[in-house]
Homo-oligomer: A and B are copies of this chain.
Amino acid sequence: MNHKYDAIIVGGGVMGGSIAYYLAKRGRKVLLLEKDQLASKSSGAAAGMLGAQAELEGDSPLFPLAKRSREMFPHLSKELKEVSGVDIEFINKGMFKVALSNEEKSALKNIMDIQRNAGEEAEWVSTEELLKVEPFLSKEIKGGMYIRKDGQVSAPQLSKAFFQSAAVLGAEIKEFTAVHSFIFEKKKAIGVETDDGNFYGENIIAANGAWSRHLLQKSGLELVVYPVKGECFFVKTDKPLLEKTIFSHGCYLVPKSGGRILVGATVKTHTFDRKVSLDGIATLMEKAKELLPVIAEAQWEKAWAGTRPQTGDGLPYIGEHPEYHGLFIATGHFRNGILLSPITGELTADLVERKIVPELDRFNLNRSLQPIVS
């Protein structure tokens, strides 16, 4: 039989793009299949925060991976720019995770202690100190945790940079090509069936986010992966209102280049629809004004929604299929897909090369065999 590709990646989001990039960089012959347009669901919609410490508490099993991935960005940013010409708009100015009540303040200080005990940098700033750096923030904020290392990128640009770099390095990318099922031979995955015919490869990697559940059912694997809609919007001001990302309970404000602020994000579980609701926007606006009152005068640009893949226990699935050799899965990164994409790409490339990757043990597929109710 004629194995055409070293690896066939199912899913054209940031995860598929990163895996394609790292495999192509290692000289592998890669085919990436996307049923619609690249980065059109979650990856192009994300806020691009690299919130290893802001999003995860110090004792999450995902924390070590998140930190390692975060550390990859400074170099990756240059590397992708060089290969593809695409600037991922990496900004390394830190984040304030702020408290709006004394309860939130205690909770945050607690998280901070855990992280500092784990050797992470984090620092409490009083309201006064906060306002010195970010003078437009509300005086009602009860201070916050300053996380120097949590930066940000442009999620659409990062996705584009991965795809373009992978293509430059020889990867083939086919949009509008839906994968219907895997082709197995003697407990080994050897290809995929698509609208555009069958494709064969030594390795198959399912990186299709919330859509992976249905596809993997056909392999007998019942992953607890479900879609979570998130709505966001952009406003613009003539002069920058913020230097750093502001992260609070239920709302974040991410300052982007050109005077834009990205405000996100709602959390609506179990729907694939990407419609923006009036109430989604209204709620975010309320919270944004609570944090940054002058945002009221900012210019409205646009709203959108994305579909993030969440899992039963809140941890991604990264590993080989428990029954079918050569079938790998990388999905379920929820709100941390942008942050985790480099490390997921690199380690999945290791898996494909049959390396032993103990840091992925915790994310293996076997835990799906005892389904957890979502």
Are A281 and B279 closer than 8 Å at their CB atoms?
no
Is the C-beta of A27 less than 8 angstroms from some C-beta in chain B? no
Minimum CB–CB distance for A64 against chain B, Å: 30
Are A300 and B273 closer than 8 Å at their CB atoms?
no
Are A85 and B258 closer than 8 Å at their CB atoms?
yes
Are B87 and A257 closer than 8 Å at their CB atoms?
yes
Report the separation of the CA atoms of residues A298 and B240 in the bound assembly, to the nearest whole angstrom.
32
Is the C-beta of A297 less than 8 angstroms from some C-beta in chain B? yes
Shortest Cβ distance from A259 into B: residue = B164
Question: Which single member of B274, B278, B286 contacts A235 (CB below 8 Å)?
Answer: B278
Residues of chain B within 8 A of A85, CB atoms compared: 89, 91, 256-258
Shortest Cβ distance from A91 into B: residue = B85
Is the C-beta of A239 less than 8 angstroms from some C-beta in chain B? yes
Shortest Cβ distance from A297 into B: residue = B277
Are A178 and B278 closer than 8 Å at their CB atoms?
no
Are A177 and B272 closer than 8 Å at their CB atoms?
yes
Is the C-beta of A238 less than 8 angstroms from some C-beta in chain B? yes
Is the C-beta of A275 less than 8 angstroms from some C-beta in chain B? yes
Residues of chain B within 8 A of A66, CB atoms compared: none
Are B239 and A168 closer than 8 Å at their CB atoms?
yes
Report the separation of the CA atoms of residues A165 and B175 in the bound assembly, to the nearest whole angstrom.
34
Are B285 and A281 closer than 8 Å at their CB atoms?
yes
CB within 8 Å for A89 and B87 given contacts A282-B289, A300-B277: yes
Is the C-beta of A214 less than 8 angstroms from some C-beta in chain B? yes
Minimum CB–CB distance for A281 against chain B, Å: 6
Copies in the complex: 4
Report the separation of the CA atoms of residues A238 and B20 in the bound assembly, to the nearest whole angstrom.
14
CB within 8 Å for A273 and B89 given contacts A258-B160, A259-B164, A300-B281: no
Is the C-beta of A299 less than 8 angstroms from some C-beta in chain B? yes
Are A214 and B239 closer than 8 Å at their CB atoms?
no
Report the separation of the CA atoms of residues A195 and B302 in the bound assembly, to the nearest whole angstrom.
28
Is the C-beta of A360 less than 8 angstroms from some C-beta in chain B? no
Report the separation of the CA atoms of residues A89 and B195 in the bound assembly, to the nearest whole angstrom.
35
Are A275 and B299 closer than 8 Å at their CB atoms?
yes
Report the separation of the CA atoms of residues A91 and B84 in the bound assembly, to the nearest whole angstrom.
11
Is the C-beta of A196 less than 8 angstroms from some C-beta in chain B? yes
* 0/1 string, A226-264, CB within 8 A of B gives 1: 010000000100111000000000000000111100000
Are A299 and B272 closer than 8 Å at their CB atoms?
no
Of A175, A235, A272, most buried by chain B (CB within 10 Å of CB) is A272
Is the C-beta of A339 less than 8 angstroms from some C-beta in chain B? no
Residues of chain B within 8 A of A280, CB atoms compared: 300
Are A297 and B278 closer than 8 Å at their CB atoms?
yes
Is the C-beta of A180 less than 8 angstroms from some C-beta in chain B? yes
Residues of chain B within 8 A of A235, CB atoms compared: 278
CB within 8 Å for A279 and B296 given contacts A87-B87, A91-B85, A272-B176: yes
Minimum CB–CB distance for A4 against chain B, Å: 17
Can you list 26 A-B contacts (CB < 8 A)?
A85-B89, A85-B256, A85-B258, A87-B89, A87-B257, A164-B257, A164-B258, A164-B259, A167-B238, A167-B240, A168-B240, A172-B238, A175-B275, A176-B271, A176-B272, A176-B273, A177-B273, A196-B272, A275-B300, A277-B300, A278-B288, A278-B295, A278-B299, A279-B296, A282-B296, A302-B302
